[in-house]
Structure 1
Amino acid sequence: MTDDPALPPAKSWQMPDTLLILFTLAVLAWAATWLFTPGHFALAGDPARIVPGSFIAAAGPSPAPIMGGEARTGFIDFLFAGLVTGDRNSAAIGLMAFIIVLGGVFGMVMKTGAIDAALQSALPGGKARNETLIIALCIAFSLAGAVFGMSEEAIALTLLLAPALTRAGYDAVTAVLVCYGSSQIGFATSWMNPFSVIVAQSIAGLAPLSGLEVRAVLWLGFTLAAALFVARHARAVRLGERARIGTLGEAAADAPAMAFTFAHKLVLLSVIAGVGWVAWGVSTRGYYLPEIAAQFFAVGIATAAIAHLGRIQGARVHAMVDAFREGAAQLLPAALVVGAAKGILLILGGDDPARASLLNTLLDSLSSLTAAMPEWLTAWTMFMVQSLINLFIASGSGQASVTMPIMAPLADLSGVTRQTAVLAFQLGDGFTDLVNPTSAVLMACLAAARIGFGEWLAFIWRPVLGLIALSSVVMVAAHLGGY
């Protein structure tokens, strides 16, 4: 198995798991309570925001115990405390339940094979005459990344798409750009991704889907630019103007096609209708995490009913229940990350700016640094910091849980809006995954397409620099426009 060219090369060292990183941070947080002095801020306005320059330090350090209680979280109970903090609307319990429910629902949708069948029905059987289909596929995958944060699914779809595009005269890089690259574009510029935007906005105290108009425009602009770039590369490869990258075996090229049935169409329509229902509920009824989770669960029920009545192969009732369980299980690590991150904040004294906490001390120190730079530069720096952190915490929800409790109040102190701070997280979390060697999804997609990481990096580094440059312009414009 180690000689299989489809597998990434063995490594003597790999990036630690996100939970291990969080445990290390918990150790450092506990140690910090013995060394540094907590403090609090004054609040004003509606909603209440930190008053700049109002920080008051406590008399001295307030060490956290080994095992805490109701009054104070200790070191060895930080995970439990983080998991049980809050209520159904909070950025802890409510957010974790939301993530698990959505993971189960989208597990059911993927189990029907509707997305796979739709793609196969659109794939060309021979030489393509133009790249219109490539553009359409890029838009579709970007939409999937924007709507439900398609990630691991890109691996299976790369296996599906790469042989078909090769038969049509393209190369393996085209398949990775379409599947993984486009989904990351949608992920980074989404207006409603439940695993990044909604998580970050919930932690930052913003309404879910707020600011969606600007994000929708960004999604459209970045998606069209990316689709045209991919189409240009695909055309150059098809016409022989550019060398092919990657090779595929004959067995993969002979993969059987899947019929796109009427039931599959109904599944996709139910998902689209569900997304529209969520947008209506949030914008007109003020729906929050419990209601949005319930809406998506209704989509899951409709999907299961369609799969049963439509006799979709391998997606009968018991199989759909298993798919829900497996999909929820795949998102359980993300929920644990949210709880662990909350527990770390509790070790530090919590995230209430009006109560003594080391987080407030950290914010006061960071605000002193940002006070020496222009506000637009602070907004851009937030984006670059998030891009760097993404190399260590590849999980979108995990990165939001770790960074947004700091970035949101820091934005208040630095003259940057919280919406702009969330945008900095989005763009920083999404684009660097295109070159992140610690991203399991990227490495698996490259292996599925028989592309070495060195080959991929030699090709993609210029487009990624272009995305970073465009994102930098967006961040400065967002701040100057008061977004």
Structure 2
Amino acid sequence: MEMTNQINTTSKRPWYKSMPDPMVLIFGILVATYLLTFVVPSGAFERAVVDGRTTVIPESFALLADAPSVHVFDIFVAIPKGLISAAPYLFIVFIAGGLFHILQRSGALENAIGVAVNRVGVQNRNLIITIGTFIYGFFGVAVGFENNIALVPVAVLISAAVGYSSLVGTVMAVGGIGIGFALSPINPYTVGVAQGIAELPTFSGAGLRTALVLASLALLSLFICKKVTKMDFVEQDGNTGLQKDLSEYTMNRENKLTLIAFVAGLGVMLYGVFANGWYINEIAGLFLLMAIIIGVINKMNANEIVKEMMIGASGVTAGALVIGVAASIQVILDQAQIIDTIVNALSSLIQDMPIAISAIVASVVQGVINLFVPSGSGQAMVTMPILIPVADLVGMSRQLMITAFQVGDGLTNLIVPTSGGTLAMLALGRVSYEQWLKAILPFMLMVYALSWVALFIGQVIGY
């Protein structure tokens, strides 16, 4: 009888609790990628530098006579190479983890959120989650993706303050940022680069993209409030994750100075991103400076600041290492030189189809390519010189093709294991990759359906 009960219990376990560890899952993808090198021949497009950018020459694809070989041992060598190539992501996760541990020790962020939620009223928590989702979506639209990594723990605290788990906060932050970035009408990394290649005015056609991003954020807010808040997660004892009752939170002088330093640091980050082209390394350096300043404000000496930074960094080590292992997939693809072959084969799928259907298929193709070319601007440089002429041949507007590219490239960033920014955010939210997939996949089906309807409408109205 006891054996039967054990079997029944095991068979009733949710599927996500039987998923392998993220390291095992990604290593399995790495092995599958290695096996793919025996099936897909090596090939390359010719490239030319135009206006300082390296772009692909359409119809120049050719198989390589001397195909590079990839050995079994290269699977294991690819992992340290991946860790090295993903170093900027790893270090910003470690440093941001340290920064937010010092913020947590200061109590400033928790006190500020506790006071704010107490004034708004915890009974309005779904309204708080909805507003938070749109705010994070705005940051995704206006600031970018990886640039917002440091804001994820703030959402986790907001979620805790209204009685929800860290999963809710992470979906609010990562989902909001991801949707905003993916469908942004002013995304310089995807829309800007793609429109430059297509010889269209920069950020033209913003109307459909704006409507799509607002509708998608509204859908995400509804999904979080109706579904994610009811999902089983780590907190099962009713604990909000805060140290005190909401009515007990107050702000002292050090808390206010800490928040001023934190907000000022974010302001400097935004200025650096827009005015000076800052990216991961500069932002990580700024986070380190912010951690030191906040530590001094809270009367920590040098040794205490280092100790708290190490504690914070150690808490996100597992998530950071997952980023490096995932980067090894790209190492194998580059070594085997099969990325261009895959792009060439997939791009041929959208020809000889009805235009509206080919736009939808183009978004799917771009999503698959994103697994192999995770950089949005890099993917635009590789695929747009091929797909823009294809759009002209099949009678699709260039604007619609770019929107299809944006949907396929951007949305898949939320689920593919090669997206270093997403994995970095999950690490700071303390949500594992398999828990994230369990939460976000149902929403992904809905937002893809919404986006495909938008692409269909775009073709009908001559977008």
| CA offsets 1:47-78 (integer angstroms, 9 cap, x no match) | 121122111112365432345xxxxxx33312
Deviation at 1:474, TM superposition (A): 5.9
Q: Does 1:221 align with 2:214?
A: yes
In 1, Cα distance between equivalents of 2:56 and 2:304: 53
Aligned equivalents of 1:479, 1:272: Cα separation in 2: 43
1:188 matched residue in structure 2 = 178
Give the C-alpha shift of residue 478 in structure 1: 9.3
Letter in 1 for 2:113: L
| C-alpha distance 361-116 of structure 1, shift in aligned 2 (>3 A) | same
- Offset at 1:384? 5.4
Classify 1:249/1:26 alpha carbon distance in 2 versus 1 (closer, same or farther; 3 Å): closer
Q: Distance in 1 between matches of 2:104 and 2:81?
A: 34
Residues 387/30 of structure 1: CA separation in 2 closer, same or farther (3 Å cut): closer
Name the residue aligned to 1:335.
323
CA distance in 2, matches of 1:98, 1:126: 33
- Going from structure 1 to structure 2, the CA distance change for 1:278 and 1:263 (only over 3 Å counts) comes to same
Residue 427, structure 1, aligned to residue 421, structure 2: no
Contact 1:376 1:479 in 2 (8 A): yes
Aligned with 1:53: secondary structure?
coil
Q: Which residue of 2 aligns with 1:148?
A: 149
Query: Size of the alignment, in residue pairs?
Result: 397
SS at match of 1:31: helix
Q: Give the structure 1 partner of residue 110 of structure 2.
A: 116
Q: Cα–Cα, structure 1 residues 217 and 298, in superposed 2: closer, same or farther, change >3 Å?
A: farther
Aligned to 1:161: 162
Which deviates more from structure 2 when the two are superposed, residues 417-426 or residues 55-64? Answer: 417-426
RMSD: 5.6
**Secondary structure in structure 1 of the residue aligned to 2:263:** helix
Q: Which deviates further from its counterpart, 326-335 or 47-56?
A: 326-335
Which structure has greater helix proportion?
Answer: 2
1:270 aligns with 2:261: yes
Match of 1:102 among 96, 99, 109: 96
Matching residue of 1:393: none
Residue 383 of structure 2 aligns to which amino acid in structure 1? L
Question: Relative to 1, partners in 2 of residues 1:79 and 1:319: Cα closer, same or farther, differing over 3 Å?
Answer: closer
Is 1:82–1:340's contact at 8 Å kept on the other side of the alignment?
yes
Q: For the structure 1 residues 373 and 64, does the alpha-carbon distance in structure 2 shift closer, same or farther, using more than 3 Å as the test? A: same
Secondary structure of the 1:123 match is helix
Distance verdict in 2 for CA 1:477–1:300, change over 3 Å: farther
Task: Using the TM superposition, give the Cα deviation of residue 332 of structure 1 relative to its aligned residue in structure 2, in angstroms.
Answer: 1.8
- Structure 1 segment 251-290 matched on structure 2, within 5 A: 256-257=244-245, 259-261=249-251, 262-290=253-281
CA distances 1:325-375 after superposition (whole Å, capped 9, x unpaired): 235525422431353233222332xxxxxxxx2222111111111334477
In structure 1, stretches of 5+ residues that fail to align are 3-7, 68-73, 86-91, 163-171, 234-243, 349-356, 391-397, 434-438, 446-452
Q: Confirm or deny: 8 A CA contact 1:42 1:55 kept in the other structure.
A: yes
Percent identical residues:
18
Q: 2:386 — aligned with what?
A: 413
Q: What's the CA shift for 1:135?
A: 3.1
Q: Secondary structure at the match of 1:20?
A: helix
Residue 345 of structure 1 aligns with an amino acid whose one-letter code is L
- Scaled by the length of structure 2, the TM-score of the pair is 0.62
1:83 aligns with 2:83: yes
CA distance in 1, matches of 2:263, 2:255: 13
Amino acid at match of 1:50: V
* Structure 1 residue 24 corresponds to structure 2 residue 34: no
- Asked whether the 8 Å contact 2:343–2:369 carries over to 1, the reply is no
For 1:346, the equivalent position in structure 2 comes to 334
Residue of structure 2 aligned with 1:365, choices 345, 349, 359 = 345
Q: Is the 8 A contact 1:39 1:361 kept in 2?
A: yes
- 1:403-446: CA deviations, max 9, x gaps? 9976862344223778974554443444999xxxxx9569989x
1:185·1:431 contact (CA, 8 Å) conserved in 2?
A: no
Q: 1:144·1:183 contact (CA, 8 Å) conserved in 2?
A: yes
The answer to whether the 8 A contact 2:22-2:433 is kept is: no
Letter in 2 for 1:117: N
**AA paired with 2:298?**
A
Q: Aligned equivalents of 1:52 and 1:360: distance in 2?
A: 12
Moved more, 20-29 or 401-410: 401-410
Task: Name the CA distance, whole Å, in 2 between partners of 1:126 and 1:253.
Answer: 19
Whether contact under 8 Å (1:337, 1:401) holds in the other structure is: no
- Which of 34, 40, 44 aligns to 2:44? It is 40
Q: Structure 1 length normalisation: TM-score?
A: 0.60
1:351 corresponds to: none
- Provide the rounded CA distance (Å) in 1 between the counterparts of 2:274 and 2:129: 29
Q: Spell out, residue by residue over 1:93-141, the C-alpha distance to the aligned partner (whole angstroms, 9 max, x if none).
A: 444444443343344334434333222213349988x84x753454246
SS in structure 1 opposite 2:324?
Answer: helix
What is the distance in 1 between the residues matched to 2:265 and 2:206? 22
Change (3 A) 1:26 1:226: closer
Residue 70 of structure 2 corresponds to which residue in structure 1? 64
In structure 2, list runs of 5 or more residues that go unmatched.
1-5, 7-11, 141-147, 197-201, 389-397, 417-421, 423-429
Alpha-carbon deviation of 1:154? 5.8
